[in-house]
């Protein structure tokens, strides 16, 4: 199976994660796709940020779900990474899709649904993806598999993928049962029997997060796709492997 390179939170090794600059850099570096994390604000706007709080990646404090979208816009989401990114904002999913629609990038939207789940997260995300007409380039994934079932119920035509960190046994059966068509395992859980069994059944395996060159090479050789913080390095390595 073809090995694709997804920029994890954008080119997050070189840019502040989950920002437009980070996604644009990933595109310029030649990534096949980007991965981003989505949550809802207090006024139900899907926004792109990984942690449940804004503490680590902005100059603010508190939970994302307690901010309105306009309040979130006043936070600086770049300086924590490097002062040269001062003024970078937390993007709305809408802004990212609006930029992405004119590229050929694939997009993995990770639904950051915990317990309790965000009411309307799946519905609002799917309706945005439909508005931009990019359903065929999007995969919805989540560690919360109730969220995947709900997404599939609302959008049977869209791809869902099972995110997991545990040693799931023959997870292709489980994935199919909940309507998912790809596996997104944490690196240590991506064992050979899982990779071989899934690929034999034509189920893509996309491993997160792979930043080490030897591991990148190993997963490319096995026919897996990867999520990486360093898409520039991965693209270069895959190019070198193809030329050999
Ligand atoms: O979707 C792959 C990966 O992003 C899952 O873990 O915590 O980086 O969102 P996390
Ligand atoms: Mg993620």
DSSP string, the chain: -PPPEEEETTTTTTS-TTSHHHHHHHHHTT-SEEEEEEEE-TT--EEE-SSSBSTTTSS--SBGGGS-HHHHTTS-SSTTT-GGGTT--PPBHHHHHHHHTTS--EEEEEE---SSPPTTHHHHHHHHHHHHT-GGGEEEEES-HHHHHHHHHH-TTSEEEEEE-S--SSHHHHHHHTT--EEEEBGGG--HHHHHHHHHTT--BEEB----HHHHHHHHHHT-EEEES-HHHHHHHHHHHHH-
What the block records as the tokens of 128 is 């945005």
* Structural domains present in the chain: 5-243 (3.20.20.190)
Per-residue pLDDT at 241 exceeds 90: yes
Query: Nearest residue CA, atom 5 of ligand 1?
Result: 208
pLDDT the model gives residue 224: 98
- Of ligand 1's listed atoms, the one at least distance from the Cα of 9 is 4
- Closest Cα to atom 2, ligand 1: which residue? 208
Average pLDDT value for residue range 203-210: 98
Residue 115 pLDDT > 90, yes or no?
A: no
pLDDT band at 127 (very low <50, low <70, confident <90, very high): very high
pLDDT at residue 114 greater than cutoff 90: no
pLDDT for 119 equals 86
- Collapse the DSSP code of 155 into the 3-class scheme (helix H, G, I; strand E, B; otherwise coil) and give the result: coil
Q: How confident is the model at residue 214 (pLDDT cuts 50, 70, 90)?
A: very high
At 150 the pLDDT is 97
Global model pTM greater than 0.95: yes
| Catalytic annotation present for 184 | no
Residue 88 pLDDT > 90: yes
Q: What is the DSSP letter of 17?
A: T
Mean pLDDT of 98-109: 98
The pLDDT of residue 116 is above 90: no
Which ligand 1 atom is the nearest neighbour of the CA of 112? 9
Mean pLDDT of 148-154: 98
| Poorest-pLDDT segment among 110-114, 164-168, 169-173 | 110-114
Q: Tell me the average pLDDT across 165-170.
A: 97
pLDDT in tens, 43-53: 999 999 999 99
Respond yes or no: is residue 145 known to be catalytic: no
Query: Mean pLDDT throughout 109-133?
Result: 94
Q: Is pLDDT above 90 for 113?
A: no
**Ligand 1 proximity of 113 Cβ (cutoff 6 Å):** no
User: What pLDDT does 89 receive?
Assistant: 98
**Taking the CA of residue 16 as centre, how many other CA atoms within 13 Å lie in the half-sphere pointing to its CB?**
25
Let me know how long the chain is. Answer: 244
Ligand nearest to the CA of 208: 1
């Amino acid at each position: 199976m073809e090995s694709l390179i997804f920029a994890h939170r954008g080119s997050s090794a070189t840019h502040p994660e989950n920002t437009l600059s980070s996604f644009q850099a990933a595109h310029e570096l030649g990534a096949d796709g980007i991965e981003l994390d989505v949550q809802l604000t207090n006024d139900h706007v899907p926004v792109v940020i990984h942690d449940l709080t804004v503490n680590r990646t902005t100059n603010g404090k508190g939970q994302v779900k307690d901010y309105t979208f306009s309040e979130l816009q006043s936070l600086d989401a770049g300086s924590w990474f490097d002062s040269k990114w001062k003024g970078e904002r937390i993007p709305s999913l809408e802004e990212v899709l609006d930029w992405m629609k004119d590229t050929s990038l694939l997009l993995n939207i990770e639904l950051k649904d915990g317990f309790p789940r965000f009411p309307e997260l799946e519905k609002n995300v799917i309706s945005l993806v439909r508005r931009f007409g990019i359903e065929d380039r999007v995969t919805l994934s989540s560690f919360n598999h109730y969220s995947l079932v709900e997404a599939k119920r609302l959008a049977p035509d869209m791809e869902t993928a099972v995110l997991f960190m545990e040693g799931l046994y023959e997870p292709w059966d489980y994935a199919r049962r909940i309507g998912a068509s790809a596996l997104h395992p944490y690196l240590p859980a991506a064992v050979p029997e899982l990779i071989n069994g899934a690929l034999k059944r034509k189920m893509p395996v996309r491993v997160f997060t792979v930043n080490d060159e030897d591991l990148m090479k190993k997963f490319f050789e096995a026919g897996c796709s990867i999520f990486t913080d360093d898409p520039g390095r991965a693209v270069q390595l895959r190019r070198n492997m193809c030329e050999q």
